[in-house]
Amino acid sequence: MEKEAGHEAAAMRLDDPWDDALASGWGESDGAGSFAPAGPPGHADPQRGHSAAGIYLEVQRSEAFQEVRRRYRRFVIPATLAFLVWYLAYVVAAITAPGLMARPVAGAVNVAMAAGLGQFLTTFLLTGAYARHARLRRDRAALDLRWETQEMTRGIGR
């Protein structure tokens, strides 16, 4: 059964450039000690035998890729720090101010329970904000890079 599944999986070809990066020579040099292809950025020269590794490194060094990474970091780093501060404030308050955390807010709900539920709410809001930020600021540029890279890797081996 495993053997049959292996043959079926091997016969299936996906045109996703990220799917077989390791199998197509990722991490191997071109023999001259260089990983990046020569020539203008964004173009591979299949006649010179550039590997997928060289193409992916070229894309990684491109300004478009760096801009996608900058946009990602501009959102993720401050959001992560803000959430960690909020979480640690909750833990520190629970340890150092048990009287404050035990104060009732509404009925049986106290400050600790309200803050704990606020942690869940913050998680969902942050997830929504991340998805919106990715959709509006990064997805189009990342998709463009992906298809450009796929076109470049298709030229290998022709």
pLDDT tens track for 82-113? 999 999 999 999 999 999 999 999 989 999 99
pLDDT of amino acid 39: 43
Q: Chain centroid to CA 16: how far?
A: 16
8 Å CB contact between 129 and 32: no
pLDDT of amino acid 25: 47
Instruction: Return the H-helix or E-strand segment holding 104.
Output: strand 104-106
pLDDT of amino acid 77: 96
Mean pLDDT of 2-21: 50
pLDDT of amino acid 97: 94
Compare 50 and 113 and report the one with higher pLDDT: 113
Q: What are the CA-CA distances from residue 86 to residues 30, 91, 92, 101 (Å)?
A: 49, 9, 10, 15
Across 35-44, 54-63, 110-119, which has the greatest mean pLDDT? Answer: 110-119
